[in-house]
Amino acid sequence: MKKLLLVAATAVMAGQAAMAQDVPTLRLVESPRDTVTRATAEIVGATEPGTAVAVNGIAVKVYKTGTFATTVDLTPGANDISVEAVASNGTIATRTLQCFRADKPRVVEKSATEAEEPVMMYASPRQVETLEDAYLQYGNGDDRLGGSKMGFIDPKIVLEAIGAKGSLYCVRLASDRIAYIPKRLTRPTDVTIHTGAVNTGSWSITNTGRTDDVTIDLPGRLAYQYSTESSPTAIVVDIFGATDNSNWITQRTLDLGIIDHTDFRQIGEDTYRVYIYLKTPHIWGYTVGYDSTSSTLRISVRHRPALTLKGMTVGLDAGHGGENPGAISPSGLLEKDVNLDIIMRVRELLHKRGAVTVLTRDGDTGPSMSRRKQIWREGKVDIAVSVHNNAAGSYKVSGTAVLYKHSFDRDLAMCVARRLTQTGLDLFGVVGNFNFSLNAPTFCPNVLVEGMFMSSPEDEERLADPAFRQKVAEKIVRGLEDYLNQCK
């Protein structure tokens, strides 16, 4: 395993350079701008471990990584902030910052009509066809990971675009349902879209040995949305632009692996809802999509695996990599290296328990999100974990978090989070409906671990410690075991 370049090594090299100059290193990574309106300012920097640091004459804790952080009060008008580092040999390095605290500007509230750019509706609808990796959004909102996703859909589905807002098309799914889709995931088409609803065809329900499959014949590729329900456990698929004419719903075997029974509802004049009820309270993965180039919709539901890590295939992902370092800590620790180190420790622990692992990367490479999902899918993973480490705009933010997209992944997230807090880390949160790309797949239970905040000096000190990274890896594995035991 490629060894992580620890901050201790960085500190040694920095110390050698400082000795050559006969003064300690003093680097500021967070400081106030020339003019601010806040009453306080955060100072974050790095020096050699063992160096004493004072800000405005007040001693500041220097962590084992050499990082220091503090908050200073600002008076109205001009402020001088002095930072002094004193090495063990008595040499001194100083920095002086000047910051002007201005009055807060008066906020001019926008009217409701000015608050947000409206959707521009087309005089005549346009036909667009979906491309690979297309997905639908509930609304036209956005954040750094995109708007809230309804789910991914197949290519070559013709949609009726009735308007646009910025980079999004507004599309009509049914008479009472609209959604949004990024323009870049579509192309114009001359294919005539069905007017009104089309009739559904026959169903077939089979046991493939690894999955139970429900296939539904349709006259064309229609848009769809999938979700899950509990009590009873069910997979729900809405097919838009369809009405029921499925007079043959045929179960081809008496021995289904996980499906208990199926049903349907016509919940709107052109929205057809499929219910797939399961025998178990937990969902072990499912996929929805069209067969090859046909218009047969297949809902494939995975059987429950043996509830032990021995023999189980676990997908592992170390976030970032290659040209993308991820977050960088004040002392220079790279998130991509920390992520990989933790994942390799998880891998070793899983192998000792008899599990098979499928890694999206095992070196300093940076596969695309699509490629990472493909690696897991082709590896037929039973459960999956992606490891990242967080960053925030303030050094005071710390703690561990576990994130998931789909409700059936919540129990897994809770199990891993409970174990991670046993390391002594505070819980930043268990976050649902998260838009991270590797949380989007439904083909297996999966979670994203945001171990700690690299921007926090305390969390950074823990991350720089191999023993603590080993503890984090152990807790992730124990969380997986807890989940499997809970499912028994």
**How does residue 13 score in pLDDT terms, banded at 50, 70 and 90?**
very low
Rounded CA-CA distance 252/206 in Å is 5
Burial of 170 (0-12, 13-18, 19+ CB in 10 A): buried
Mean pLDDT value across residues 25-51: 94
Q: Which residues of 187-206 are buried (b: 16+ CB within 10 A; e: fewer)?
A: eeeeeeeeeebbebbebbbb
What DSSP line would sit under 246-298, residue for residue? Answer: ---EEE--S--SSEEEEEEEEEETTEEEEEEEESSSS---EEEEE-TTSSEEE
Mean pLDDT value across residues 24-52: 94
Burial of 275 (0-12, 13-18, 19+ CB in 10 A): middle
Give the number of other CB atoms < 10 A from CB of residue 367.
15
Q: Are the C-beta atoms of 412 and 432 separated by less than 8 Å?
A: no
Strand residues in 112-167 grouped as ranges (E): 120-130, 135-137, 149-152, 158-165
Rounded CA-CA distance 108/457 in Å is 38
Report pLDDT digits (tens) over 372-417: 999 999 999 999 999 999 999 999 999 999 999 999 999 999 999 9
Among the listed residues 5, 38, 75, 7, the one whose alpha carbon sits nearest the alpha carbon of residue 459: 7
Tokens of 461: 């000190």
Report pLDDT digits (tens) over 234-274: 999 999 999 999 999 999 999 999 999 999 999 999 999 99
Q: Which residues pair with 40 in a beta bridge?
A: 73
Distances (CA, A) of 110 to 44, 115, 119, 139, 166: 36, 6, 18, 22, 20
Rounded CA-CA distance 246/225 in Å is 19
Q: 3-class SS at 82?
A: strand
Is the pLDDT reported for residue 3 higher than 90?
A: no
Q: Are the C-beta atoms of 441 and 377 separated by less than 8 Å?
A: yes
Report pLDDT digits (tens) over 276-285: 999 999 999 9
